[in-house]
A and B are shown apart, each in its own frame.
Chain A
Amino acid sequence: MSGSFFQTHAVRALAGRTLRWYFDSPSAYVTLLVFYLITGWLFAAPLFLVKAASLRGLADLAPLLLAFLVPALTMGLLADELKSGTFETLATLPLEDWDIVLGKYLGFAALHLVCVGGLLFYVAVLGLCVSPSVGLDWGEMLGTLLGLASTGLAFGAVGIFASSLGRSQVVSFVAAFLVCFVLFLLGKSAALLPGGLGNLVGYLGLDSHVDNLAKGVLDSRDLVYFASLVSAFLYLTVQRLRSRRF
């Protein structure tokens, strides 16, 4: 364990390798292109249609976009290693399963955060367009980006778990998309359910948490929600890898 819980050298090596792996194939570029095209449209549409400088549309619909794009980025993370046999190489190195899962996940997380960070460009454009007298709600802007970043990180954990299910990237993609889509739907359907059940479903769904952040409200409960999702799915991934070695 070399003093710490994780073997940082290996986690860093795996994260760096994962990031490079994305950029060595067209997948990262295509995903980034789709992401910026659609978010660009979500961002520009209210500007021209209702003449409002707001990221509302982005906060509402980008989670659905991420539910589609994130599984595309994560589907190969472990499935590809399982398929090519390199997982056996990794698993017979002096590494814990946690090191492998965390390294891979952090590689994805770095790409995702860079992706969401790129949206700051849109915010900067907004800042230039809006007259100084009106001003921008910076809390709302940055909160929305934080909401998207957190949503993607949670979906990424779902995605790496789906990728540990087997050798097929298609199965991994579909499974991850389904779980992410359900998380998205739960939030939307909470309002239709009565009282306590509605509250519970509302808490489990993404919407209320992304909404809070998008309003510029930094509530620890929302951050705990995202952190729990990430930890739970990373934990399941490690368990899944262990159970593969029956």
Chain B
Amino acid sequence: MILAKDLTKRFGGRTAVDRVSFEIPQGQVVGFLGPNGAGKTTTMRLLTAYLPADEGRAELAGIDVSEDPLAVRRRLGYLPEDNPLWEDLELTEALHFAGRLRGLGDGAQRAARVKAVVKSCGLRREVGSKVGELSKGYRQRLGLAAAIIHDPDILILDEPTSGLDPNQVQEVRGLIRELRSRKTVLVSTHILPEATAVCDRVIIIHRGRIAADGRPADLAGDLADKNRLHLELRGPRDEARAALAGLPGAGGVSDGAPGSFVVESPAGVDLREEVFRLAVRRDWPILSLRQERLSLEEVFRALTRES
């Protein structure tokens, strides 16, 4: 569980994080979205007690971050921004070192954990390589492996896919997806498809404040002021148009290409079933039917547009 309550952080006169509050229940994967400089990294640093908050408080697994940072960090795996690694170590040495720093008991227990994360993060091929020689994708996997070496309940990942090529992005997303349900994950990104791909929920932060918080689909719904139904059917044009406009709750109807119509309705009114029944009654075969939704990208742009 991750809890932020009115978290505020100022640097000089600038407020980097401004009364940020959210609660992430156990087992949820949450995307933390925002343009560069929105306050994502600073918020994460407050949650990990790397920086002290000026106001507000944070709790991880029910433990207050400022009261017992060490207890919090024992439960936490953190991948900092830019994934800093000790370049001169060999891959498994780096993982052993991370394990030793975390006090992962005797050699056998640690070796078992190292083996487990090498497997789960798909690092086997690169065992024996120096960290400094790894490709960016493998570096990212190694950073993730080091962050989960102690099998933490909570993961905070700062831009784990930044700078990766599309294949590598897919791989890292796959890893995060596998952690889902077992761990509480807060993952920051400024790449939108990422949030839709792996997250149960997204929190959008803009200029240090939370601009939106919800399931990707709900966010799009909330923001749209009306529904648009794109429809293609085979039937007499004017008659069909009049019939569609006569449906209960339907607003304007416009038609474009032959047989294509766009039926508008107020937000919250779903006309799809009514349209289906009408088409069946009149024997007008439906060729396509699509409810328009704002994409997360449009939501994001709408919320974070510079005013």
Partner-B contacts on A (CB < 8 A): 1-2, 7, 9-10, 12-14, 17, 21, 24-25, 84-86, 88-96, 245-246
Contacts of A24 in B (CB 8 A): 88
Known contacts being A94-B70, A94-B74, A245-B50, is A84 close to B101, with CB within 8 Å?
no
The dominant DSSP class at the B interface is loop
The 8 Å CB contact of B88, one of A1, A10, A21, is A21
Count of chain B residues with Cβ under 8 Å from any Cβ of A? 26
A245 touches B51 (CB 8 A): yes
Partner of A85, one of B74, B80, B101, B146: B80
In the complex the two chains form, what is the Cα distance from A245 to B11 in whole Å? 11
Give chain B nearest CB distance to A159 CB in angstroms: 20
Q: How far is the CB of A83 from chain B (nearest CB, A)?
A: 10
Report how far A24 CA is from B101 CA in the complex, Å: 20
Any A CB within 8 A of the CB of B73: yes
B101 touches A90 (CB 8 A): yes
- Kindly supply a per-residue 1/0 record for chain B positions 121-146, scoring 1 wherever the CB is within 8 Å of any chain A CB and 0 otherwise: 00000000000000000000000001
Q: Are A92 and B50 in contact (CB under 8 A)?
A: yes
Could you tell me if B84 and A95 are in contact, using CB atoms closer than 8 angstroms?
A: no
Cβ of B80 and Cβ of A94 under 8 Å apart? no
The reply to whether the CB of B263 lies closer than 8 angstroms to some CB of chain A is: no
- Residues of chain B within 8 A of A21, CB atoms compared: 88
**Residues of chain B having any CB pair with chain A under 8 Å:** 11, 48-52, 70-71, 73-74, 76, 78, 80-82, 84-88, 97, 100-103, 146
Contact A10 B101 (CB under 8 A): yes
- Nearest Cβ distance between residue B237 and chain A, in whole angstroms? 64
Is the pair B86, A13 in contact by a Cβ cutoff of 8 Å? no
B78 x A17 contact (CB < 8 A): no
B84 near A86 with CB under 8 A, answer: yes
18 A–B contacts from the bound complex (CB under 8 Å) = A1-B70, A10-B101, A13-B100, A13-B101, A24-B88, A84-B87, A86-B85, A88-B80, A88-B84, A89-B80, A91-B50, A92-B50, A92-B73, A92-B80, A94-B71, A94-B73, A94-B102, A246-B51
Q: A93-B73, A94-B74 are in contact. Are A10 and B103 (CB under 8 A)?
A: yes
Q: How far is the CB of B306 from chain A (nearest CB, A)?
A: 28
Closest 7 CB pairs of A and B: A85-B84, A13-B100, A94-B73, A94-B70, A9-B103, A88-B80, A86-B84
| A residues less than 8 Å from B146 (CB atoms) | 89
CB of B82 within 8 A of CB of A14, answer no
Complex alpha-carbon distance, A10 and B76, angstroms: 17
Q: Please, which residue of chain A has its CB at the minimum distance from the CB of B158?
A: A88
A1 to B69, CA, bound (A): 12
CA distance in complex: A199, B227 (Å): 88
Q: What residues of chain A lie closer than 8 Å to B85, measured between beta carbons?
A: 86
